[in-house]
Amino acid sequence: MDAPLQGKVALVTGAAKRIGRAVAVRLAMEGADVVVHYNRSKAEADEAVTEISALRRNSIAVQADLTSLAQIKRLFQQVTEHIGRLDILVNSAANFLPARLDDTTEKMWEASLDTNLKAPFFCAQAAAPMLKHARGAIINFADAGGILAWSGYIPHCASKAGVIMLTKCLAKALAPEVRVNAIAPGTITMPGDPSEWEAEFVRRAPLHRSGSTDDVADAVVYLVNAKFMTGHVLVLDGGRTL
């Protein structure tokens, strides 16, 4: 029997490492061919391509600085030229920069907003023609910081709150051909994270555990297949935002 996403093509931004990579590999396990986007992590992106290829799925790594509109356009032009279709766009590339009221600089503000909000919009804009043709889906990544006010991460919270509204606007603008949803992860830990993070997350989450990249990948697959859902933000935080 064919895998659920057999014949589909997904582009995952920031797919060389951490959550983005886990999502890219899961989509390949579900049957999709995957474009692995990266900026500076070429070695890790190549490893992701190797891992996906071992699943007997086609995969290529494409570099782009998503703070540059010209490079975003080049990224999607390469997808068009080398693959010719796109069914799923996962906007997972992001940064998480500490910045308080008194020490936030213009450069810090722009670094957060350009990567976390500007890039998903222009990636969606560039992907729209292919996604409309395929009647595809966009999954954006907000996070708990777009819902909770973290005074030590003001530009980050503003950018992720913007992703939540961007998701709703794109859902209306691209309907009915393209569904647009978002995931707002929180209390997620990964190998290499400080151990005190997990302890704090366990303390704060009603489910009394931290989440994993598998939990996030599960949510992405659900939203890809949720044919009657658009404009929704799926909060994935073990109840933290309660």
- pTM for the structure as a whole: 0.96
Backbone angles phi, psi at 184, to 5 degrees: -115, 85
pLDDT digits (tens, 9 = 90+) for 63-121: 999 999 999 999 999 999 999 999 999 999 999 999 999 999 999 999 999 999 999 99
The alpha carbon of residue 186 and the mean position of all alpha carbons in its chain are separated, in whole angstroms, by 14
Q: Sheet of 179-185: strands edge to edge?
A: 59-63, 33-38, 9-12, 88-91, 137-141, 179-185, 233-236
Mean pLDDT for back-to-back runs of 10 residues, the chain (242 residues): 88 97 98 98 98 97 98 97 96 97 97 98 98 98 96 98 98 98 94 83 89 97 98 96 92
Residue type, 151: S
For tokens 């997904």, what's the residue? Answer: 10
The amino acid at residue 238 is G
Task: Round to the nearest angstrom and report the end-to-end CA distance of the chain.
Answer: 41
Length of the chain: 242
89, 124 Cβ separation under 8 angstroms:
yes
